[in-house]
Structure 1
Amino acid sequence: MTTAALAAPVVLATPASAATWDHSMSTNDSDPGGRVQFRVDGDRFRLCDIEADGWKVNLRIWDEYDAVVDESSVGTNGNCVERVATEFGVRSLRDGRYYTFEIWLSKSGTSYAYADEATWKA
């Protein structure tokens, strides 16, 4: 009689930062090429060009008084950039204040495409 060995279940580890984002938004194209994630605790965001397609992902963050807090971009080839508030010139995003995150794609000849925006509370 032959006995088949039971395979141990495979558990895929999720990076610690992958589960800690409070908010997430993607560009408005049918197969989104960009994504922004925001974590309130620590005022951290990650901007990712999630497709190596020649398009660059752009992000603008402004506060409820229309003051631009940060402008960032990444990409054309599937990269991410992760930043905290202190890296873009403010000590922190003010707790309780609303911030608008606007994401869009750009490419040679097209400077603003597939935009989306969301307002999140810090």
Structure 2
Amino acid sequence: NEYHPAVLASLKLIVEGAKRAKKPVSICGEMASDPASALLLLGCGIDSLSVSMASLPRIKWIVRSFSCQQMRQIFDAAMQLHDPAEIRTLADNALIKAGLGALVRAGSPNHHVQQPPKPD
């Protein structure tokens, strides 16, 4: 589960080690393509995300809607939680609060219907 605190803590350790070594950290795949996960990854300090073309507009929407500081604060708040479902809810609620509720995955307890903006 990508929202498990141990997974997020491990990623944070990797990012910290890479920063000390002056190396960038990139993530690709499903986790990078999921809006709530991407928000946490960017807040963790991941330098770049590799996502499919279909996911790109959603991830761009996040990058344009949150400052680096806001993403860090969300990640730090997530690291205070112990339950993956609580972490997912925290990230989903941040997206909803920012007007990005359309990005909240169907099937999430926080899902509601909202139309996303048209991609650039």
- TM-score, with structure 1 as normaliser: 0.27
Q: Which has the larger radius of gyration?
A: 1
- TM-score, with structure 2 as normaliser: 0.27
